[in-house]
Structure 1
């Protein structure tokens, strides 16, 4: 196979279409190749100012940035998240669109976990500001994420203030510096604020969604839910490095595509409002375009095969062959038969 840099725009477009088809036919390891091909395609178009595709550059950049934010954490394998890959691809996404609130939010959270509070402060500031300026951005923050961003922003600044206070005290002790006496107790209000914010964030570490709505949960509540005997509920757990569907003590690992499809059906469908392929255009293709009904049906079939391993009492994915609106075959989640529980991290879902 020729190197991507040697392929023409037309050849790259053809290769991208093949990769997308292969991935949606069940080859769950192609995200890296797809995004690499998209990147090469953008580079090739930019290199030729006379190209017929020049007017498409902005859209291609926006699509690529969205794919990097959405799938970057799964580039090594679609079954497992990777923080290093996530950090790299989020930064790459910002090169195409520096105003993506969700990219800054996730980078801020990754930096906060690493105690790199100066970087966390930078990204949370930008997440809040860009979300304020562009609330309709396709990758904007939810209200809950906006609130969390402000708390993480506050904590990052407080940690930096504490560190600056500590360094100034060390300098004053070990050097001949004219100073105002610093009472060590003046740090206590800062620690109290950090503790208060951290306590709230810990209590809201997870977002749990079901047919009744959504609520925050702590790590302890999450563990109780995972270990509990919720045999009558299908649980989609998207919190760890791996994604699991759980039911009655059994569990099966899902790819990101499996999980996103199940998540969308759980949250957005019903027998009265089944989802057709047009309702899932963003989900089914990493490039824009019409979704073939065969892809939708195959993806549903693969998800059903995974869920069969859980020994569910019935097929939780219902089908409407001829919806009243005249669309193609549509599907819905049977929430009235088997209730669902969706668990995600509060810090950006995936």
Structure 2
């Protein structure tokens, strides 16, 4: 029986089964969850349109979960360990069908369009991201200061690219050889374009440790990863994968594991360890799921030869975890993709 033929109650049971499977097997079936939430949203929307207001809160709740999965997990639908720009684009576009004013979805679509040299599309997305920032109240999807600055620079670069291409095409037209066409000086455009590109490259990544946050280039991140300092923990959210590095050993992490480890490094301490509530962004995480996920992360790091870093402590009647701070660390990630849970 397809999801379309299921009742709301049956769909909720499937969601429970998926959650149980995730806890048991240690991987997240976000592809199935997205399809499930889409069908739940469709059915609940029909009920609300029939003036059954009792379902409005359920509809809002399912919508939040669907949008979150599309924006934050669409990149990894094909595999938990490697990003896919084309899947990301498809999911981000779909998220805008449910939340057309979502600034983060528009921003990331602008970045992908720019990456694919689709400058007209990129202008529309970046402008929408900036325009809709004032309307969107959820902090989860608002742009940070670096993203706002980048959006303006990308907008400027898109216009410069389009102008450059247009002037080149004008000069190739037959009439351009016989009529007096206004001469366009391209050198200032090239200069501005190059300066903007260089800035974006120099500030493409954040490099974060306990002392604070600085920006750097992708090349600097890769240089640090290829020649890491001794007894220093590195966590790198690259353009394709998430890897942890320590004294020559590497561990490939899932998106959830990368986010969780970054939170432990940056925001946890023995005095205030991180509990499951720190990771309950759109849904409540049950205690067993949280402890199981942390155990899997610990085991993966240990199996790859990493020293024990994540400690356990009871906090507010919850199981909490924190990094013991034995080793210095660096976390590196794209300034275009703010890490979750920070």
Q: TM-score, normalised by structure 2?
A: 0.92
Give the CA deviation at 1:136. 5.0
Question: C-alpha deviations, 1:102-137, integer Å up to 9, x for none?
Answer: 111110111111100001111111111212444654
SS of 1:79 mapped into structure 2: coil
Computed over aligned residues only, the root mean square deviation of the Cα atoms, in angstroms, reads 1.9
Give, in whole Å, the separation in 1 of the partners of 2:180 and 2:61: 57
Structure 2 residue aligned with 1:44: 43
Structure 2 residue aligned with 1:107: 109
Structure 1 residue aligned with 2:140: 138
Structure 2 residue aligned with 1:317: 310
- Check whether the contact 1:247–1:310 (CA below 8 A) recurs between aligned residues: no
C-alpha change, 1:10 and 1:131, in structure 2 (3 Å) is same
Q: 1:288 aligns with which of 259, 283, 287?
A: 283
Give the CA deviation at 1:50. 5.8
Give, in whole Å, the separation in 2 of the partners of 1:298 and 1:182: 67
SS of 2:81 mapped into structure 1: coil
Give, in whole Å, the separation in 2 of the partners of 1:268 and 1:29: 24
- Check whether the contact 2:119–2:162 (CA below 8 A) recurs between aligned residues: yes
Give ranges in structure 2 of 5+ residues lacking alignment.
none
Structure 1 residue aligned with 2:263: 264
Structure 1 residue aligned with 2:220: 221
Q: TM-score, normalised by structure 1?
A: 0.90
Structure 2 residue aligned with 1:327: 317
Structure 2 residue aligned with 1:298: 292
> Is structure 2 residue 338 aligned with structure 1 residue 338?
no
SS of 1:329 mapped into structure 2: strand
Structure 1 residue aligned with 2:30: 31
Structure 2 residue aligned with 1:122: 124
The count of aligned residue pairs is 336
Give, in whole Å, the separation in 1 of the partners of 2:280 and 2:124: 34
Give, in whole Å, the separation in 1 of the partners of 2:103 and 2:151: 10
SS of 2:333 mapped into structure 1: strand
Structure 1 residue aligned with 2:244: 245
Give ranges in structure 1 of 5+ residues lacking alignment.
none
Give, in whole Å, the separation in 2 of the partners of 1:243 and 1:224: 16
Structure 2 residue aligned with 1:73: 75
> Which deviates further from its counterpart, 21-30 or 97-106?
21-30
Give the CA deviation at 1:235. 1.3
Structure 1 residue aligned with 2:337: 348
- Check whether the contact 1:145–1:346 (CA below 8 A) recurs between aligned residues: yes
Paired residues for 1:81-230 under 5 Å: 81-134=83-136, 136-171=138-173, 173=175, 178-183=179-184, 186-230=185-229
Give, in whole Å, the separation in 2 of the partners of 1:45 and 1:133: 25
- Check whether the contact 1:320–1:330 (CA below 8 A) recurs between aligned residues: yes
C-alpha change, 1:135 and 1:192, in structure 2 (3 Å) is farther
Give, in whole Å, the separation in 1 of the partners of 2:312 and 2:26: 25
SS of 2:214 mapped into structure 1: strand
Give the CA deviation at 1:310. 3.2
> Which deviates further from its counterpart, 231-240 or 48-57?
48-57
Give, in whole Å, the separation in 2 of the partners of 1:101 and 1:20: 29
- Check whether the contact 1:250–1:310 (CA below 8 A) recurs between aligned residues: yes
